[in-house]
A and B are shown apart, each in its own frame.
Chain A
Amino acid sequence: MPKHVTSPREIAAKESRAILRRAIRLALDTESAAVRRNTRSFNLNRYGAIAVLPDYEVLKDEARRIKEHALANRKALVQRLSESVTRNGGHFFFARDAQEAREYIQEVCKRHRVRSLVKGKSMTSEEIHLNAALEHDGIRVVETDLAEFILQAADEQPSHIIAPAIHYSRERITALFRRKFQIDLPLDTGEDLTRFARERLREDFLAADAGITGANLISADCGSLLLVESEANIRLTCIVPPLHLAISGLEKIVPSRREFAPFIELLAASATGQPLTSYTSVMQPPLAVPVVDFRGAGPAAREFHLVILDNGREALAQDAQLKEALYCIRCSACLNSCANFQVLGGHGFGGATYSGGIGATWEAATTGQLKLARFSDLCTGCSRCVPQCPVRIDIPGLNVELRSRLNESIPLSPMARAMCLLLGASPAEHASAQQMFFAHYDRVARWGTLFAPLSNFFLKVPGSRWFLEKSFGIDRRRHLAPFPTKTWVDLCDDGVTQKLDAPQGPEVLVLADVFTNYGAPERGRDALRCLHAVGVRVRLTNPLPDGRAALSQGMIETARSQAEALSRYLAAENARGLPLLVVEPSVLAMILREYLKLLPAEPFAKLQNSTMDAVQFLAKHFAELGSEPREVFDIRKFAPGSRVFYHAHCQQRAVSDPSNTVEFLRRLGFEVTCSQVECCGMAGSFGYKKDFYDVSQAVSEELVEQWKAAESAMGPHTLIASGVSCIEQLQGATGRAVLHPVELLAKLL
């Protein structure tokens, strides 16, 4: 290994971009392979499990409702729980912060003269740095969850909420154990390693004076804990030592055991993709079970202490924009379905305790330091986690909010101010020069197009890419498409398009989104040609920004004012409520999903009812007419052949079903192979940024491999993707031309 290799602990607290960059390097260099394999396997299993879970969506609604209600009534629930625990013969303690929680547990351990203690996996105990405090008191602390056992041996922070050593391959565990434990036993298989750990830990269980666990949920009415696991270490921790301490955040409390029900199935399915894990315990401590004297210490009575922790949760509960994070049940579905997390894991994409997109809010809330949410920059807003969350948390929304607050916490740089002046944008909202550049893509592109030959000449001048990288962090390895001399709107204003207009037939409005208008005008014209060909009368809107670009940079107010302006424009232009067709999926998702938070209810509902994907409109149009699309779109005109490899845009999948497009292409005679990845890795501006170029490339590898596998199995495929940035990413990674579905369809006319 090279010298001065970063250790995971050094980059745990990501308070700056510099540390985040080092963490990304560490994750990509040493942890990525294991993380990829493990997260993708969890993710695939999860898709399998939820597919057979009866009433999955109903369970999610129920779980969300329970969490909302419980959090709203948290004070009463804490009170009720304290009474229940006391009634059961246990002890209850409410800790306002990490220090109070540590001190209480240390005090109980001192009173019981605890010398050795076993622990079940508990992120909450990680959060309060409990082990170090107990070890300081001379207590031998033994992590018994095998992943935590690995981390304790390696002195590393967790890299995943439920599989904290997900970044360790079997080979690295073998090397670690040999180094740490100095043993000669065979350790070359998972069985060997497990046997070694089991035999060592069994003695620790039997000798322990105390056991510490967390809890998945706690019922206020009777003080029951829900504990979900597979290894049986939590069961042993609860039953073998006479003293049991449980620590849990206040957000885990629900009114009664009945509320456990929907979570039991949701947790297992969402976490490891099993119907249930090996052990789901519902436990009301102290257990009325005799203590077996394994220690030879004589008879002992059972004692139970429950520590409920605030540590920033109460403040989070009062934060209207971020409180949703408290509904989290720590299942990890969001992590496993996150393309960036899949290549980085929680050491790259996470903090000292909590990881992934959901972890940024948690890290900031439990440390009280907003800057520790810096790793939220790794959330691209792709939204693939949104439909996977069993309690329907809008994780990208949380990260946009964090980004906005982080932006506001930093003074506007002279460069960013200059950008605003140059582009005629308002400097009211803070952001970096890079963020200004991407957020105001509409203005950048308008100027670039206006001075098209000159601006494109600039891009070819030696040093220009260096300048863009230094000033705006735009990675010089990225291909930048030249500005067109004519935009989509210009192209369709030339009289040619109007001639194509059918005299009769349904009428639609097509949104001239800024990305297509400036970035791919020909694609826009192809969309109109397809619509004309099927006899639809088309009107193109003005090229107004929709707010997506600004929102992705955390510039919420800019996004909101753009959303309002677009909605006002559309209300005037589209009084009759014609279908509004969108070609660019990120804009479609912006209107159908993000506008819910940005616009008042009524204009949002109007837009939601009228807006749809252009290809889906075509499919629907043929279905309504009952006519055969092959009569219009003739696959024989497409020389490259009938095999296509289709990658559906990540954000599009959050709002509409890409299988409609696939189905439509199949009806035309195409053989469609679909990508099985969550995101292409470009995710709008993300992949253009120098800090994230390598992550973006790493994410794209799986997609490219799937395409290659399709080609080697079946021969050449035409690449199809629906988003501007997906197309750019795929073209860069494959060196092939990539078509938008409307471009493919236009070739069949």
Chain B
Amino acid sequence: MELVARSPEAVRDAVLARASAKRPILIAAPRYLSPDYFRPLREWEGVLSHPSASDYRSAAVGVTEAFAAVARTGSVCVDIGADIAGYVSLLPRLHIVVVDIDKLVFRPSDLFRLEQFSRPTFQRSFVFISGPSATADMGPLVRGVHGPHELHILVLS
């Protein structure tokens, strides 16, 4: 996790630093944050916002926003109900997620109390992501199973 200044350039730099040489980077367009935050990033080489099936197969990094974060459980909430965030947050080995510190709640149940939550068109489908995919089924704990092996959270503040 890293605190990042509220500027599109800062987001771009933080994402590129985290991705290091890994390419391609897939980006899911934000629906809650201003689209400006991802704009400089989209112009970068090796960054794709409209991936094809083969781009998904080879993707190394996925960048999405989260519409909320949960302090107690260290989770970010990603809307997977529309557009491509469901794939982008799932298929690449590294998932970088950007969330606004103002969207921080204390515990998961707080999210269900938010009034906006009951609006039927809002967040039809979302996922609390609390770490990289992991398993203990093969003996010891192993990080990196069917989903990302690493989760990096960039907090706008």
Contacts and interface: CB of A to CB of B under 8 A. Distances in A.
Interface stretch (B4-12, B37-45, B105-113): B105-113
B146 A198 contact: yes
A51 interface: no
A152 B71 CA distance: 38
Interface string A262-276: 101100100010111
Chain A at the B interface: mostly helix, strand, loop or mixed? mixed
B56 A292 contact: yes
Contact of B138 (A190, A222, A275, A276): A190
A495 interface: no
Contact of B81 (A146, A189, A289): A289
A294 B139 contact: no
A726 B113 CA distance: 48
A38 B117 CA distance: 38
A206 interface: yes
B130 A294 contact: no
Given A233-B145, A292-B56, A294-B53, A281 B137 contact: no
B125 A283 contact: yes
The interface size bin for chain B is 35 or more
Interface in A455-471: none
B56 A261 contact: no
A205 interface: yes
Of the listed residues B112, B113, B120, the one surrounded by the most CB atoms of chain A closer than 10 A to its CB is: B112
A150 B139 CA distance: 12
A145 B137 contact: yes
B119 to A, nearest CB: 11
Contacts of A265: 73, 107-109
B104 to A, nearest CB: 15
Given A170-B139, A275-B130, A284-B124, A289 B145 contact: no
Interface in B82-129: 82-84, 86-87, 90, 107-109, 111-113, 117, 120, 123-129
A236 B146 contact: yes
B112 A261 contact: yes
A147 B109 CA distance: 30
A54 interface: yes
Contacts of A654: none
Contacts of B129: 278-279
Contacts of A224: 124-125
Contact of B130 (A202, A278, A293): A278
A146 B74 CA distance: 25
Contacts of A278: 129-134, 147
Nearest to B141: A190
Interface string B23-61: 000000000000000000000000000000100110000
Contacts of B80: 235, 239, 281, 283, 287, 289
A165 B146 CA distance: 18
Interface string A667-700: 0000000000000000000000000000000000
Contacts of B86: 235, 239, 287, 289
B64 interface: no
A279 B147 contact: yes
Nearest to B139: A170
A444 interface: no
The interface size bin for chain A is 35 or more
A274 B75 CA distance: 12
Contacts of A276: 70, 73-75, 108, 128, 130
Contacts of B135: 146, 194, 230-231
Given A239-B87, A283-B125, A287-B125, A261 B139 contact: no
Nearest to A193: B138
Nearest to A285: B125
A452 to B, nearest CB: 55
Contact of B133 (A163, A232, A261): A232
Contacts of B127: 235, 279-283
Contacts of A262: 109
A713 interface: no
A115 interface: no
B109 A264 contact: yes
B90 A239 contact: yes
Contact of A258 (B72, B112, B146): B112
B144 A54 contact: no
A274 B74 CA distance: 11
Contact of A194 (B123, B125, B142): B142
Contacts of B133: 230-232, 278-279
Interface in A29-75: 38, 54
A288 interface: yes
B146 A275 contact: no
A144 interface: yes
A290 B84 CA distance: 8
A260 B70 CA distance: 16
Contacts of B84: 289-290
Contacts of B134: 230-231, 278
A268 B111 CA distance: 17
Interface in A57-113: none
Contacts of B142: 190-191, 194
Leading 10 A-B pairs by shortest Cβ distance: A232-B147, A170-B139, A261-B109, A232-B133, A146-B137, A275-B73, A280-B128, A147-B137, A231-B145, A261-B112
10 contacts: A163-B136, A206-B57, A232-B133, A236-B90, A239-B90, A261-B112, A261-B113, A274-B130, A287-B80, A287-B86
Interface of B: 53, 56-57, 70, 72-75, 80-84, 86-87, 90, 107-109, 111-113, 117, 120, 123-142, 144-148
Given A264-B108, A287-B80, A289-B80, 7 more contacts: A173-B139, A235-B146, A265-B107, A277-B130, A278-B129, A279-B128, A279-B130
